[in-house]
Amino acid sequence: MTDKETIYLKVGQLLNVSQAIEYNLHYIIIYDSILKTCMTKEDVKKKLSTKNEYYERLSKESIGNSLDLARKTKIFTEDFLTSLSKVVHSRNYYAHRFFKDDFEKNEMNNNPKKIIEKLDRDLNRLNDMNNELCNDLNTLVLLIKKKIQ
């Protein structure tokens, strides 16, 4: 595989992980809301039956709006939200600026190893963030299961 192909592959992986982060963040917001607002087993079940509609509404908004919602509802610590914001910033860079910037600088041809190293660091950071979100989501799912048993 050429360095250029490796770069394309890693950008694709990064965007894929960022989509997983967004998905997990949305479901954390949903499940946290259910846990905070539903007092009875029946209320929880009713809310769970509409979670997909809530997800659809959230997924149509920007990730920034989801971060604001998470901040307002105090789901995460401020440090974690700051880290998550940085991850979103990285995602936006790769989705909207990376290739445009390379047209001007031609770094993929001039210094591909440097780009690959940066992509690896960013990808590791996104994977770590996604793993944390997966753990949080699993915890919320277990709490909801306890509430409906």
Q: Which domain holds residue 35?
A: 3-148
The whole-number pLDDT of residue 32 equals 95
The whole-number pLDDT of residue 31 equals 95
The whole-number pLDDT of residue 104 equals 82
pLDDT at 108 over 90: no
- For residue range 16-69, list pLDDT tens digits in order: 999 999 999 999 999 999 999 998 999 999 999 999 999 999 999 888 888 888
pLDDT at 73 over 90: no
The whole-number pLDDT of residue 117 equals 96
Q: Which of 1, 24, 3 is nearest to 140 (CA)?
A: 24
pLDDT at 149 over 90: no
Report how far residue 34's alpha carbon sits from residue 24's, in angstroms, rounded to the nearest whole number.
15
Q: Which of 77, 70, 96, 84 is nearest to 128 (CA)?
A: 84
Interval 83-111 mean pLDDT: 89
Q: Which of 125, 119, 136 is nearest to 5 (CA)?
A: 119
Q: Are 9 and 123 in contact (CB under 8 A)?
A: no
- For residue range 21-33, list pLDDT tens digits in order: 999 999 999 999 9
The whole-number pLDDT of residue 113 equals 94
pLDDT tier, 107 (very low <50, low <70, confident <90, very high otherwise): confident
Overall domain count for the chain: 1
Distances (CA, A) of 122 to 17, 44, 79: 11, 37, 18
Residue 51 burial class via C-beta count within 10 angstroms: exposed 0-12, middle 13-18, buried 19 and up: middle
Distances (CA, A) of 23 to 52, 54, 100, 106, 117: 12, 12, 27, 33, 27
Pick the more confident residue, 7 or 63: 7
